[in-house]
Structure 1
């Protein structure tokens, strides 16, 4: 067991408690770093708890392949000559950039969970702290998040049937991510503050993106309801955890036939 000098014991205790006290306003994406400063990644610790560690592992096992599915769906769409909407293409490029970075964050969580706990002797109190995540990855990679596209940056149309197909498929995909993120936030065993912040970002960002995609679908000059989405077009659903696959009907239908991302969540954030 590592015994700390008295001057560091209070700091270690605060370190252990900090993730639980972190507020949802802080972004796990870490957009606010100083580009001129040297990157200093740091380890995020949480109190060691087998149930919490299992919750984190289950979440990463579901969300990581799900994010990878969003990348392949977006790449397939961008490579299709039938893609027409500049707004939707800008969104697809942003999904690739942002979710690729989030996959890296999830991989860091998985690596940290495989590390042994840190044992600290604080005198009257002994702590076991589990490495749970790595902060500072954005600065280390000089990552800047792709902003949400809008009418000032890209035109909505012309909207093609392929645009509608991609939008409807990605709405299904995003709804699954929102369901999984809310499931983690509502799980009393899930205590990783870093993942809580990341999930807050996922709920906010992907709900906004669903709204944007619904707007693209609404601009289609034909019958959007008649545009079919083959099940194989929605990638990365096999490892879903915490809420399942929205294609099975857990969420109510939206105006475009895809699940409504707000179904069952009309009364505010799960925090």
Structure 2
């Protein structure tokens, strides 16, 4: 297991140890920047990638994750009277510490991706960045079902797991087919 996935599992465990409202606030506060990083990477794919199939996936990532960011932001406001920034300040230190390696990895990976030349090489680098990014979101989201107070969040977390895992499998297939080792 990679260090990144181990970090995601530790984060999921830390989330799962929180009482329902605190879990919801911490998860929502963490998922907003996570989705924003995926959107940023997907925008780079649209600008610099070469594969129409991958560009279509990037468009889907941008659309679906921006909608989820809006929904999550609304839930924080409606359910808890919080902005995303205020919610982040309320995340317990242990949960912040568990999430820190993923945040560092996301920032570094997004910046590194911006240095890759446009074209097929960028497509490959994009998939190699988004696969572990999506895997961490799926792992973190497994902490929510059965622990969240709001059924809508339980449902969203299950949808995140399913959608991210499906995209990971598709990208693994494309990597294998387009860039055989």
Q: TM-score range by the shorter chain?
A: 0.5 to 0.7
Contact 2:124 2:179 (C-alpha < 8 Å) held by counterparts: no
Contact 1:53 1:113 (C-alpha < 8 Å) held by counterparts: no
Contact 2:145 2:155 (C-alpha < 8 Å) held by counterparts: no
Render the CA deviation track for 1:9-61: whole Å, top value 9, x for unaligned: xxxxxxxxxxxxxxxxxxxxxxxxxxxxxxxxxxxxxxxxx932111110011
Separation in 1 of the partners of 2:152 and 2:177? 38
List alignment gaps of at least 5 residues for structure 1: 1-49, 116-158, 224-271
Runs of 4+ in 1 over 3 A off after TM superposition: none
Match status 1:91 vs 2:42: no
2:139 aligned to which of 170, 174, 179: 179
1:101 aligned to which of 53, 58, 67: 67
Secondary structure class of the residue paired with 2:143: helix
Separation in 2 of the partners of 1:90 and 1:110? 30
Match of 1:68 in 2: 36
Contact 2:50 2:123 (C-alpha < 8 Å) held by counterparts: yes
Separation in 1 of the partners of 2:57 and 2:38? 12
Match of 2:168 in 1: 210
| Count of aligned positions | 128
Query: What aligned pairs does 1:1-271 form with structure 2 within 5 A after superposition?
Result: 51-80=19-48, 83-115=49-81, 160-185=120-145, 188=147, 190-221=148-179, 223=181
Render the CA deviation track for 1:159-199: whole Å, top value 9, x for unaligned: 8221111011100110011011101225x4x2221100001
TM-score scaled by length of structure 2: 0.65
Superposition CA RMSD, Å: 2.0
Greater relative contact order structure (CA < 8 Å, 6+ sep) = 2
Pick closer, same or farther for the CA change 1:221–1:112 going to 2, 3 Å: closer
Render the CA deviation track for 1:110-149: whole Å, top value 9, x for unaligned: 101334xxxxxxxxxxxxxxxxxxxxxxxxxxxxxxxxxx
Structure (1/2) with the larger strand percentage: 1
Contact 1:160 1:220 (C-alpha < 8 Å) held by counterparts: no
Larger radius of gyration: 1
Shift of 1:84: 1.7
Shift of 1:222: 5.3
